[in-house]
Amino acid sequence: MPITPGVVGDAITAGHGTYDVLVVGAGPGGLATALSAARHGARVLVVDRRPGTSGLPRATGINVRTVEILRTWGVAPAVRARRILVLPEAASAATLAASPRSSGRAGGYPSPREILDVSPVLPLACPQDLLEPILVDAVRRAGGEVRFATPLVDLRVRPDGVSAELHGHELHGHELHGHELHGHELRSSVRVHARFVVGADGTRSAVRAALGIATTNLGTWAHAVQVLFRPAAALPQPHRLLTFVDEPSSAALCPMGEGRWAYVGLRFDGSPPAVPADWTPTLRAATGFPDLDPEILDVQPFTLAAEVATTYRAGPGFLVGDAAHRTTPVGGIGLNTAIHDGHELGWKLAWAARGLAGDALLTSHDAERGPVGLAAAARSLDVEGRPTDGLPSSLGHTHRSTVIAGPDPAPDLRIDLAARPGERAPHAWVRHAGRHRSTLDLFDGGLTLLTGADGRPWARAAAAVRGVPLRVLVEGRDVHGAALAPRYGFGPGSAVLVRPDGRVAWRHDGACVDRAGALTGAVATALGTAPAPARRSRTAA
């Protein structure tokens, strides 16, 4: 069920109106940013104009990288408990009452065998209205605050961050800047201050507008209408996430959990789909069940279009999710990319707020996530090709920015991950602290230096790095696993520096005269505290 506002006076607390991070928008991207930032020690406030979390299923497919992130946050079991029992990679062309005429992969998911070779998790299907409450609870457990029914009224950039006026329930212990009575409810406004603001408030982002960031339209694929319905008698549970139908016109059917289904009618001629007064005949034809008795829960016309922000950062303001990159809903691209945005941005904001990182690390948000958002938006329009490329679009982006030391990435997405700078650090099963774990479980919370079996000199050199969380894991001493060395390309003198978001920041191979100096410089570069070279232009990865 959607989460609704708490009692009056329980939200904008902490004894003051000052935060490290203000997140506007409590969708997947905003909650991911807040959770990442709060877990890394930032004081976080999330506000949303909606009365609670999403009341509609919206996106459903959760890809491999997103499940890895959920695993890192410790919420993957809760999400799995609410999943739809279908194969996210499967699609078919048939009615629900008939055997599928053809089948194949959909939404960018490869086979389980391919996935488990490079990841400890499998993708799953979980509707957004079941996912969001889990993330809200996780943000609050991490010390963040989440406030619904609290729209942003005004946002001003200041020398020390931003000042935001919020409109919401009367807040005890705060200066009120105005109030009005709606029915029997006293509404008030309060001004809070934050070091950083994150616009996670959708395609019509008020934060983006306040920051003066423009957008570039990439095109429109189709016009659609989604009908959410619950049949009086349960429909057969499919093994596939999507069923494409031609009756009475081009459409798709998707189970949405809790006995609900979505029918999505599509029009490709530039005109909106018909919206009949009675959907029963359409749904009977689409499902193949002539006696279907549907309860219509919601009807939403929408346009399948894509656009991207011209930059993801302006001063103390940042964009994630639909505010940064609008995509079509093909394959859950928007939800997954939004969560990845927040996962990678949140820790950067927290470390900068704590004085552990410099401005170059913040600038890297646009340099690193911009190409990914552009590629996702473009891919969501290319429904006949790249949306089904599977692991490359989920795991194969190579980041390049001034805080990642390495050569320019290959022009194409790649999954031959080898712990090169800019790549997602590879998964390998290891024994660590007496437990069987994935290497992906080792990176959250700080910087991690993984070395080969001859890495004890690197461990001694790490003593020169002061003031930042850094731990060294030496193969054969701290971590044990036959797959570790080949996955990370360990040779003589190898060392790989991994960021808290699991991204490789730097590596060294071979002899090194001054390990302490090399590692100190690598950490300074990774955290944006070293002098930065000229900024590279944004290109799609």
361 close to 351: Cβ distance less than 8 angstroms = yes
72, β-bridge pairs: none
The model's pLDDT over 68-110, given as tens digits with 9 standing for 90+, comes to 999 999 999 999 999 988 655 544 444 555 544 444 444 445 6
Helices (H), 354-483: 359-381, 391-395, 456-461
Residue 530 is predicted with a pLDDT of 86
Nearest to 318 by CA among 4, 36, 15: 36
Helices (H), 407-514: 456-461, 484-488
Of all helices (H) and strands (E), which one includes residue 11? Answer: none
Q: Residues in the chain with pLDDT < 70?
A: 1-16, 86-110, 169-187, 238-241, 247-248, 383-390, 409-417, 531-541
CA dihedral sign, ordered 434, 436, 440, 445: negative
Tell me how far apart the terminal alpha carbons of the chain are, to the nearest angstrom.
Answer: 38
Nearest to 344 by CA among 134, 198, 502, 208: 502
Distance separating alpha carbons of residues 222 and 239, to the nearest angstrom: 27
Burial 107-145 (b: 16+ CB within 10 A, else e): bbbbeeeebeebbbbbbbbbbbbbbbbbbbebbbebebb
- What is the three-class DSSP state of 225? strand
179, β-bridge pairs: 188
Nearest to 322 by CA among 400, 397, 215: 215
Residue 390 is predicted with a pLDDT of 65
Cα Dmax for the chain = 78
Nearest to 289 by CA among 241, 330, 233: 233
80 close to 104: Cβ distance less than 8 angstroms = no
CA dihedral sign, ordered 328, 333, 337, 338: positive
62 close to 79: Cβ distance less than 8 angstroms = yes
Residue 6 is predicted with a pLDDT of 37
Helices (H), 181-288: 206-210, 280-287
- What is the three-class DSSP state of 493? coil
Residue 101 is predicted with a pLDDT of 43
The model's pLDDT over 313-328, given as tens digits with 9 standing for 90+, comes to 999 999 999 999 999 8
Measured from the Cβ of residue 481, the count of other Cβ atoms closer than 10 Å reads 18
Dig out the tokens for 447 from the structure. Answer: 């910087």
**Which residue segments constitute the domains of the chain, with CATH numbers given?**
429-526 (3.40.30.120)
Distance separating alpha carbons of residues 197 and 21, to the nearest angstrom: 6
Dig out the tokens for 346 from the structure. Answer: 């949140």
426 close to 487: Cβ distance less than 8 angstroms = yes
Residue 250 is predicted with a pLDDT of 82
Beta-carbon contacts of 373 under 8 Å, excluding residues fewer than 6 positions away, are: 308, 309, 312, 324, 325, 337, 341
Burial class for 536, CB neighbours closer than 10 Å (0-12, 13-18, 19+): exposed
| Count of alpha carbons within 13 angstroms of residue 97, beta-carbon side | 11
Burial class for 385, CB neighbours closer than 10 Å (0-12, 13-18, 19+): exposed
450, β-bridge pairs: 473, 496
